[in-house]
Every structure is written in C-alpha cells, then in structure tokens.
Structure 1
Amino acid sequence: MEIKSYLHLFIRELSPLFEEEECKQFFWIALEEIEGKSRIDVVMTPDLKLTDKEQWDRVLEELKKEKPIQYIFGKAYFYGLEFKVNEHTLIPRPETEELVEWVLKSIDVAQEYNIVDLGTGSGCIGVTLGKELPFAKITLMDISPQTLDVAVQNALNNKVKVNAILQNIVALEDCREPFDIVVSNPPYVRNLEKQEIKNNVLNYEPHLALFVEDNDPLLFYRNIVDWAKINLRSGGMLFFEINQYLGKEMLMLFDKNEFKDIELKKDMFGNDRMIRAVKG
C-alpha cells in the first residue's frame, strides 16, 4: 500500500477524535519511527510504499484508543533531547520547557551550581539543566523506583551525570550539602479539574504525578518550601511549575515563608504557570 494512500486512511480513521492537523502530526511521527522516512521523502517520491502495514495498523488502533503517541513509541522530545517515557512518567510538555528556559536565563551558565529536581519524573528538567550547565551537579529525586529508573536511564542516554534519590517529596529529609537551585514540577491538578483533562492524559498518564486532593492543593509546594528553607543556600533560587488557578496562593505561600524577589510568570498560553523566589 502506498504511504500517501495510508495517510488518507489514517486521517479518516482518527478524525472523529482529533483535528486533521493533529492526525497528520501523528502520521509524520509514525512515518519516521516505522519507515525511517520524513514528510519530504513522501513529497519527493509519491509512490513510496509501506514496509510494515501490520505495525502501522497497530499504531492506528492504539491512537484510536487515545493512547499518546509518545507512549506508543516510548519516547518524547524535550528541549532538543530525546527522553524515554512510559506509564510511570508524564510526557514532557512545552510549558515545562519554558520553566527550564527561565532557570537558564536566571543564572550564569559558566558557574557551578548544585541543583535538585524534585519529583523528577522522566528527568526532563534535571537532565536538560545538566546538559546545558556543564559545571552543575544534578540530583534527581522521585517517590517511584520505576520512575527514577527511567530518569536515570535518560540521564545516561543524554550523557549527563546525576545523583538519584528515592524519596517522597511530602516527607523530605534534610540533605548534608545545601543546594543553589531547587526546581520542581510536582502534582498540581485538583480532582475538581479532571473534567478539563483530555482522555489521552486521564486514561494513560500516571495519576500519582498529576493529581492532588482538592482540600490541600498546595501540599507538595508547602513541603518543598519548608524543606528549601533549610536546604537552599541563602540567595539560592526555587522554581516551580504551578496550577494556573493558584498563582495568588503560591505568591502568599512564598511571602509568608519570607522568600524574596518573588515572581509569577505566564506560559505561552497566557496562564500563570511558573513561579520563582529567592531565599533571603
């Protein structure tokens, strides 16, 4: 079967679930993964044929179940790097790239820093910072051994040296050496917001890394801030990705804990998504 013909079938089968442009994006990703071809190859050679229609059909069936294509192929891209992902890790998102970019713009990349990524997941934040900061010491921390294994593998694959700590961020222990930068994207979606979540996220991504109880939505942030008051150097910075609806509450949390230079930042979609503060 010609690739161009399968493209039309692909779009037709997925159109009840996704916009046409998103269907096409899925197709080009699958084309690269299955055939080792690109969109330009199809343009230049219109009669190219599928080499493994059975695999194409399996991918199409998974997508019809709304399984994220990153989980189908076991990889995602973040800040130009490839990361292994599976059911134990969230899929890295563009908004989190903005958080990493903010960290990098806030520091001197030629200096040495001791950085910890709390609730690291796939390791996308910590590993990327390690790649961009050649003199930094990177620590990745997560509650799940399976998740931490993925993060460490991603560090190895991207040639970044890291320390890995298996620990719950609601029961953080004091560390022996203070950190210069603490960064975290902890669970922040309240159960009341589940109706806003698409099925491909709700049905496949780990709820442990997504959701927090409605009656205490700042649970993880409060614990990290308390820990940072002891384990962050004076003048050190704390960066969070946050729930877009809780920006004011995050400002209050930092203020009452006597952090300074507190800044709330919007993401590319205009939502309150990141916050930075300096330890006094």
Structure 2
Amino acid sequence: MATVKANNIFRFCINQLNIDEKEAITYILLEDAYGITKTDILLNKVFNLKQELLEGQLKRLNAQEPIQQIVGFTYFSSRKFKVSKDVLIPRPETEEIIDLVKDFDSPKPSIIDIGTGSGCIAITLALEIPNATVSALDVSKNALKIAKQNAEDLKANVTFIEADFLSYDEGNFDMIVSNPPYIKNSEREEMSKNVLDFEPALALFVEDENPLIFYTTLAKYGKKHLNKEGFICVEINSYLGQETKEVFIQEGFRDVKLIKDFYDKDRFVTAKS
C-alpha cells in the first residue's frame, strides 16, 4: 500500500494505457474502483493505493476487457448493477424499454422478462412499477446468480426462472419484455474485441439461417400466454426492423410499432395482443 497524490495516479494511468478514450476510462476506473473523483484529482488529494492491483487493472484495460467487468458493476436507469463475463453489459439504449413498458397503462401488471441476464430490466420494472408482479427467465445458471444478487442488493421482488425459452411453455402475463440474442454470426466482424472476447456469445448471437428465431418464439409464446389486452416489448437488431415487425403482424398482434432509439436506429418493436 503506497501513499500517492491523485494527480500522479491519474498521470500514471494515462501513460500506461494505449486504448481509445483513455482519459474518460481512467476517470471511471479511479472513481468506481478507488473512490477517486475528478475533484480529488484537481485538488491533488492523497490516497492509499495498492500499486499492483492498479497495474493489473490497467493491463486488463489494454487487453480490451470492458471497464464494467473490471470494476464489477455498471449503471442502468441510475441504479448500480453487478456484472461479470456471464452477463451482457447493459447498454444505455436498452433503458428506453423501461419507459415503453411504463407508458402501457396497467394498474397491477404481471410481467416476464425473457433472457434477463444481469436482471437490469426486470429489477428496474419491479422497482418502478411497485404494483407489478415480475418474473425473469434465463437459460444461464451463472447469469441468474448475478441477477439474483442484483435483486437482493436493490431490494427488488423478482421471481427467477432457469429455463430454455425456446422450449418454455408456462405462465400467463400482462406484459412480455425481452432483449434476446439478435446479432447474426456474420456480423461478428463488425464487433469490437471487448465485446467478442469478454461478453457471453450465448446472449449475443444467432445463426444467420434463422436470425429471428427468438422473435418468432416470442410472438408465438405471446399469443398463447399474454392475457387479454396484453403488451409485448422487445429490443431488436436494427438491421432487421421491418422483418421483426412483420413477425408480430403475421402472428396476429395489434398495433405493432417499430420504434427508434436515441441514436435514430430501429431498436424496439411493441405490440398488443
């Protein structure tokens, strides 16, 4: 343990890193891992620091490991969620799902989040819709461990289900929410190393021959298991917006909408039963 001035720590990190946006990443690392804020750096406060730990984290950053996995958490809808290599790191655009679901007026909705990962969607909905009954399904035992820990930490009442959704046929709900795997294997070359090497392929990729397999299954599941006047909201592959919308139209859903995210990309489909 060494006593070091904050500005020296900051400069050391910048000199050691050879990644894009290294200043922004350094600020995140120092604040989230060590509680050293930008103000502390400006005031050049003194901190006790484990040099070897910091050096190891910088090596991991240089290997393109996501900062969220290095510090062990990220933020979603202003809440802190634990993450690991077993779950997809929540993206800012996914937060828009929360508002889309909340806009669907239902006094005491029963909701299922399919492919819950870290639990960020299910837990946020449970906290922001207090009268809701929320379930969350995932095929990954390790992902569910993270999700359950997040629910416990955030004091959210969520029922977790370990199952393969492609063969799941249980329950009745007012709302279905899902951010399923939707990236085609052929799109891997467009992905950055920090995603390909450190996030779970199970939560990301589908076969090129059947890229809408989860949406087809979601639509069929919804027609069977959504209550009358029910609602479904899914995140989608922006390259397959119209095709995904058509899946729900063909299955007989009403008021099917293709919605853009704040990057102006096709990102969500909503529909009513």
Task: Give the TM bin, normalised by the shorter chain.
Answer: over 0.9
Deviation at 1:50, TM superposition (A): 5.2
AA of the residue aligned to 2:186: L
**1:161 maps to 2:160:** no
**1:139 maps to 2:157:** no
8 Å CA contact 1:34–1:52 kept in 2: the answer is no
**Aligned residue in 1 for 2:51:** 53
Whole-angstrom CA distance in 2 between matches of 1:65 and 1:226: 42
8 Å CA contact 1:191–1:211 kept in 2: the answer is yes
**Aligned residue in 1 for 2:260:** 266
Instruction: Write out per-residue CA displacement over residues 42-90 of structure 1, whole angstroms, 9 at most, x where no aligned residue.
Output: 22x2253552222211111110001011111211110011111111100
Instruction: Write out per-residue CA displacement over residues 82-119 of structure 1, whole angstroms, 9 at most, x where no aligned residue.
Output: 111111100011011011222112335xx111000001
8 Å CA contact 2:6–2:36 kept in 1: the answer is no
The sequence identity of aligned pairs, in percent, is 37
Say if 1:47 and 1:36 are closer, same or farther in 2 by CA, change over 3 A.
closer
Write out aligned runs for 1:186-201 (5 A).
186-201=180-195
AA of the residue aligned to 2:180: P
User: Which residue among 6, 9, 12 is the counterpart of 2:9?
Assistant: 6
**Aligned residue in 1 for 2:65:** 67
**Aligned residue in 2 for 1:255:** 249
**Aligned residue in 2 for 1:24:** 23
**Aligned residue in 2 for 1:170:** 166
Whole-angstrom CA distance in 2 between matches of 1:33 and 1:217: 37
AA of the residue aligned to 1:88: D
Aligned residues: 270
**Aligned residue in 2 for 1:210:** 204
Provide structure 2 residue ranges, at least 5 long, that are not aligned to the other structure. Answer: none
For 1:270, what is the secondary structure of its paired residue?
A: coil
Whole-angstrom CA distance in 1 between matches of 2:105 and 2:141: 31
8 Å CA contact 2:10–2:26 kept in 1: the answer is yes
Q: Tell me the TM-score normalised to structure 2 length.
A: 0.95
8 Å CA contact 1:3–1:50 kept in 2: the answer is no
Whole-angstrom CA distance in 1 between matches of 2:109 and 2:33: 41
Provide structure 1 residue ranges, at least 5 long, that are not aligned to the other structure. Answer: none
8 Å CA contact 1:238–1:277 kept in 2: the answer is yes
Whole-angstrom CA distance in 2 between matches of 1:201 and 1:81: 22
Deviation at 1:154, TM superposition (A): 0.8
Whole-angstrom CA distance in 2 between matches of 1:147 and 1:226: 25
Whole-angstrom CA distance in 2 between matches of 1:133 and 1:87: 29
Deviation at 1:169, TM superposition (A): 1.3
For 1:40, what is the secondary structure of its paired residue?
A: helix
AA of the residue aligned to 1:115: I
Write out aligned runs for 1:117-136 (5 A).
117-136=113-132
AA of the residue aligned to 1:225: A
**Aligned residue in 1 for 2:77:** 79
RMSD: 1.4
Whole-angstrom CA distance in 2 between matches of 1:14 and 1:37: 18
Say if 1:34 and 1:142 are closer, same or farther in 2 by CA, change over 3 A.
closer
